[in-house]
Amino acid sequence: MSATISFQGIGASPGIAIGRALVLDSRRVRLPKLKLQPHEIDLEVLRFKTAVALSNTQLEDLKVKLASQDGEGQEHALILEAHRMMLHDPLFMVEVARLIKEDTINAEWAVRRVCRRLRHQFDNIDDEYFRERRSDIEFVADRVVRNLLGEVVDEELEVPPDAIIVAHDISPADAAMLVRNGKVGAFVTDLGSHTSHTAIVARARETPAVVGLGKASESIRPGDMVAVDGRRGLVLVNPSEQQLSLFRETMRRQLVSEEEALKTAELPAVTTDGLRVRLNGNIEFPEEIPSLLAHGAEGIGLYRTEFLFLNRTNAPTEEEHYESYKQVLQAMGNRPVTIRTLDLGGDKVPGKKPEKEINPAMGLRAIRYCLKHRDMFRVQLRALLRASVHGNLRVMFPLVSSISELREARSELEACRSELTRQGVPVGKRFPVGIMVETPSAAWIADRLAQEADFFSIGTNDLIQYSLAIDRQNRDVAYLYRPLHLAIIRSLQAIIDAAKHAGISVAMCGEMAGDPHLSLVLLALGLEEFSMTSGQIPLVKNVIRSVSKAEAVGLLTQAMQFSSAEEIERFVSAEMDKRFATAGD
Ligand code: PEP
Ligand code: MG
């Protein structure tokens, strides 16, 4: 029996898996580097163009195959379409041809050099999510080089059930093929972060994944027994019998609690004294919808559309926006779908090297960014108006901090509506237009905002950041991030009261909404609409179904006698433990 090796990486998708390793050969192709004679140049450019054309056809074929599948296949198809567009991007096409001609080098070498240059541009981006997109450039370049070398690409793989897929990195094309061909046990990759493709695909499939493991793929051999803990980011190769039984026990417990949780999917979220609460889901990608529905989501409370910028250096077209919104609205049928306009800005600026802002969280982001870049905003608004014919749409603007911003955003929406009508483009009926309340200024003027917004959705992630002056990205001040700080409780109370007084609906879509330990506090504050990631829905529902509103109000009244966040937290958590030994564990 071989010795156990353990690797610590980034837990990108939770869950336990045990299985045999299927190691993908994802070494970079070896590259011939040749200097050309002048008479060979034209032929080399032609060779390059042929390889691009072939790559294009392969991506088209794959896309067609996947698009005929369910929503998830369609999502992969969108990623492949983005790759196809990268192929034709002048930054790639024109540059490679120029290098072949001017530096008289062979096409493979020129492709690699352009790829390296593009990668560097991505390396300088601060935002992890956009930086991670550099691997997409590699995947596209690899495909072209393999075609230049006449290698086999898109080979269909037989995946034994529960195989642990081990790779240096997994391209979206490979990921799509793998999940199509069988039930993958887990993904384990050397590269990647929380926002890399493997992570995204894995979370949507509820498949455990550990990424960013360094050189694990070089040490794991095909057929090795591998145990993966996707929450802790732990990978054990050839674990001992004792370790295996611990993993099996954790896996068994997780399965039981997931099954228990799913049993409530069909049941309404109603307190014991009859208060009906609405539980919606948060998504970043349409592919998350099946999981959301399986966990009992009654609608979508937050669709973070900035994720449409995945895999690309340029902004999506109106058609691309429209297709995504249509897909989500149709998949949700009559259920309400709340689409948030782009929360881009600061360092998340597609296609350009971002201008450094000293304090990006307080800089030109979200609605401020959209109001400054009207052309980009209008593309999204037009797409939303067009898509509204396909379902039950609600649109909300992020980070509104003044009434003027809401008015301006609304009038831009109306201008787009009139423009489309003039152009004879079908537009759905008027839909509710709301705002995210996530700045202290919005909380203070909630009564006035409620006169002009159709609904509120409270973004506690940012509301806490700005109210308590704590950078949500900064680990050093993370200990100060306290949802039960009296300032937050009072803000929430003011926002909810203002909405109710004005007769508009108020939801919460920040992380606080999905924390079952806080459900009673939120119920007591009068919150009746929660939105969260799919896995949290059954946990929150379980709490709501076993308490009365009166009991929740009693708990909050007692908690409010304390002054410090620590005391309030300690009190609430002790009370919750008394009632629910396992809330959220
Ligand atoms: C929030 O701020 O609570 C929120 C839901 O928005 P995001 O996390 O996308 O900023
Ligand atoms: Mg926010």
Sequence letter at residue 109: W
175: domain CATH number? 3.50.30.10
Is 295 part of the annotated catalytic residue set? no
Q: Are residues 108 and 199 in the same domain?
A: no
Partnered with residue 10 across adjacent β-strands are 211
* 183, part of any domain: yes
Global pTM reads: 0.69
CB-based burial, 475-504: b 16+ in 10 Å, e otherwise: eeeeeebbbbbbebbebbbbbbbbbeebeb
Q: Are residues 45 and 144 in the same domain?
A: yes
Q: What is the pLDDT of residues 153-181, one digit of tens each?
A: 666 667 888 899 999 888 766 776 676 66
Number of domains in the chain: 2
Q: Are residues 191 and 127 in the same domain?
A: no
Structure tokens at 324: 């995504």
Q: Is the CB of 304 under 6 A from ligand 1?
A: yes
143: domain CATH number? 1.10.274.10
* 248, part of any domain: no
Q: Are residues 85 and 166 in the same domain?
A: no
Q: Are residues 80 and 179 in the same domain?
A: no
Q: Is the CB of 306 under 6 A from ligand 1?
A: no
* 473, part of any domain: no
Cα→Cα distances 539→139, 518, 529, Å: 39, 11, 15
CB-based burial, 406-416: b 16+ in 10 Å, e otherwise: bebbbebbeeb
Of 76, 83, 168, 197, which residue is the catalytic one? 197
* 377, part of any domain: no
The pLDDT assigned to 30 comes to 64
Q: Are residues 183 and 97 in the same domain?
A: no
**Domain extent for 72:** 38-149
* 58, part of any domain: yes
Q: Write down which residue in 222, 239, 256 finishes a domain.
A: 239
Cα→Cα distances 246→290, 430, 492, Å: 31, 55, 42
Containing 578, the helix (H) or strand (E) segment is helix 565-579
Q: Are residues 135 and 202 in the same domain?
A: no
- What DSSP state is assigned to residue 535? G
Cα→Cα distances 476→14, 71, 479, 481, 483, Å: 25, 40, 7, 11, 17
Choice from 309, 344, 399, 436 to test ligand 1 binding pocket (greatest atom count within 8 A of CB): 436
Partnered with residue 404 across adjacent β-strands are none
Residue 360 in contact with residue 329, Cβ under 8 Å?
no
Q: Is the dihedral of CA 326, 425, 382, 445 positive or negative?
A: negative
Place of tokens 């208060």: 275
The pLDDT assigned to 585 comes to 43
Q: Are residues 117 and 170 in the same domain?
A: no
* 142, part of any domain: yes
Residue 24 in contact with residue 170, Cβ under 8 Å?
yes
Q: Is the CB of 462 under 6 A from ligand 1?
A: yes
Is 115 part of the annotated catalytic residue set? no
Q: Are residues 175 and 202 in the same domain?
A: yes
Q: Is the CB of 460 under 6 A from ligand 1?
A: yes
* 73, part of any domain: yes
Q: Are residues 114 and 164 in the same domain?
A: no
Q: Are residues 132 and 203 in the same domain?
A: no
Choice from 285, 306, 340, 343 to test ligand 1 binding pocket (greatest atom count within 8 A of CB): 343
Q: Write down which residue in 239, 256, 289 finishes a domain.
A: 239
Partnered with residue 393 across adjacent β-strands are 337
The pLDDT assigned to 194 comes to 66
Of 370, 390, 509, 517, which residue is the catalytic one? 509
Which numbered atom of ligand 1 lies nearest the CA of 343?
A: 9
Q: Is the CB of 461 under 6 A from ligand 1?
A: yes
Place of tokens 């700080």: 485
Q: Are residues 112 and 17 in the same domain?
A: no
Measure CA of the first residue to CA of the last residue in the chain; give whole Å.
35
* 220, part of any domain: yes
Q: Write down which residue in 239, 265, 293 finishes a domain.
A: 239
Q: Is the CB of 412 under 6 A from ligand 1?
A: no
Residue 475 in contact with residue 469, Cβ under 8 Å?
no
Structure tokens at 190: 């050397």
Q: Starting from the CA of residue 399, give the closest ligand.
A: 2
How would you classify the pairing of strands 336-340 and 300-304? parallel
Nearest to 345 by CA among 106, 127, 133: 127
Low-confidence ranges of the chain (pLDDT < 50): 583-585
The pLDDT assigned to 583 comes to 46
